[in-house]
């Protein structure tokens, strides 16, 4: 099962290596992870998706809490969260194919950020299902390169999805 | 000076911990970092921004190349790249202030993804300058929480910015 964790840490030297080491030491392969300062630059937020057993994950969360630089660990399955990811995809786009790509981008509200004779780079944001659906539609054109950020998530104050 | 590195690694156990450990071992504090599978799930792409001396960074890149699971390391300052970041910001939004926030969001093409009596969550994507400008505009309303993905980047085939 896939889990998403949000971890608030002190913005210090080597903290990411320790947190990442904790996951791999416990047998969790990190699927996606991102880390950046919060609005208070003293702290950073790590958002990670990992695959594994729920019981093992609970153990891992307890261990994370024990690290001195970790302030807070939240399992995002436990609440209502707004979660978004960004992906840049470079696609084969020979002259005949470009308009088809542009049409699909319009449907998904994706933006073309670069174009050349043979390729385009598309920027797309959404929740993970939307991104997977978009990538499935783009697959037949030929994906030349891809950069995904992994999801960023914040707790909602209300339960309804906008 | 801030540097952005794109590192292609094998999608294996513990690789992120080793790469992150390499940065901290060399005295680089990671400002932002993200990692996710590429279009070929055998490989992942790590995009990291670090602050430090250019000469030291060259040393660090050489060391990264020596790690068996590292396939490619590119210093993004060396070429033309499309770089985008996503940020979720939770803002104080009492009834009188909400319309002002919505106006600024429209200007920046930011999207409101959650709303409650006292707060809104806004999703914004762009290059780092645009995100900084947006956060500066939002600061006076009161930022309650923030989740940034760090930048994702792909090499352009042409030099012009769209």
**What is the C-alpha separation between A153 and A76, in angstroms, rounded?**
8
CB contacts, 8 Å: B20 with chain A: 16-17, 20
**In chain B, % of residues over pLDDT 90:** 67
More confident residue, B25 or A150: A150
How is the beta sheet containing A43-51 ordered, strand by strand? A70-75, A2-10, A43-51, A29-37, B29-37, B43-51, B2-10, B70-75
Question: Which pLDDT does position A144 carry in this prediction?
Answer: 94
| Nearest-CB residue to B125 (from A86, A154, A155) | A86
Cβ-based neighbour number of residue A101 at 10 Å: 21
**Residue among B32, B34, B86 whose CB faces A84 most closely:** B86
Chain A contact set for B145 (CB, 8 A): 38-39, 154-155
Nearest CB among A38, A114, A158 relative to B156 is that of: A114
Tens of pLDDT along chain A (162 residues) come to 788 999 999 998 889 999 999 988 888 889 999 999 999 999 999 999 988 888 888 888 999 999 989 999 998 876 688 999 999 999 999 888 899 999 999 999 999 999 988 999 999 999 989 999 999 999 999 999 999 999 999 988 755 544
> Is the pLDDT score of B159 beyond 60?
no
Predicted local confidence at residue B161, as pLDDT? 46
- The Cα–Cα gap between B148 and B49 comes to 13
B14 closest CA partner among B35, B28, B39: B35
CA distance A46 to A108: 28
pLDDT tens per residue across span A12-53: 888 999 999 998 888 888 999 999 999 999 999 999 998 888
Domains along chain B with CATH numbers: 2-79 (3.30.70.260), 82-152 (3.30.70.1150)
By C-alpha distance, which of B10, B17, B148 is closest to A19? B17
C-alpha dist (Å) from residue B107 to B100, B102, B137: 11, 9, 11
pTM (2 d.p.): 0.91
B39 vs A152: CB contact, 8 Å cut-off? no
Q: How far is B66 from chain A (nearest CA, A)?
A: 18
Q: What average pLDDT does this structure show over B128-154?
A: 94
Q: Is the pLDDT of residue B1 over 70?
A: yes
Mean pLDDT of chain B: 90
Collect all residues with Cβ–Cβ distance below 8 Å to A31 and sequence separation of at least 6.
A2, A49, A50, A51, A150, B36, B37
Q: Nearest C-alpha of chain A: how many angstroms from B53?
A: 16
Q: What's the CA gap between A153 and B39, in Å, rounded?
A: 23
Express each pLDDT in B45-72 by its tens digit. Answer: 999 998 888 888 888 899 999 998 999 9
CA distance B32 to B35: 11
What DSSP character marks residue B158? S
Q: Give the model's pLDDT for residue B158.
A: 53
């Amino acid at each position: 099962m896939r889990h998403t964790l949000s971890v608030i840490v002190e913005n210090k030297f080597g903290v990411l290596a320790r947190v990442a080491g904790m996951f791999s030491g416990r047998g969790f392969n990190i699927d996606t992870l991102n880390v950046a300062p919060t609005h208070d630059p003293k702290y950073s937020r790590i958002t990670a998706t990992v695959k594994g057993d729920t019981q093992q994950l609970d153990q891992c969360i307890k261990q994370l809490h024990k690290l001195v630089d970790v302030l807070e660990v939240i399992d995002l399955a436990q609440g209502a969260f707004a979660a978004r990811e960004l992906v840049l995809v470079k696609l084969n786009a020979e002259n005949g194919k470009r308009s088809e790509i542009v049409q699909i981008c319009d449907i998904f509200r994706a933006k073309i950020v670069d174009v050349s004779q043979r390729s385009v780079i598309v920027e797309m944001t959404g929740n993970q299902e939307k991104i997977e659906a978009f990538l499935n539609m783009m697959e037949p054109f030929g994906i030349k390169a891809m950069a995904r950020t992994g999801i960023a998530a914040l707790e909602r104050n209300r339960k309804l999805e906008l």
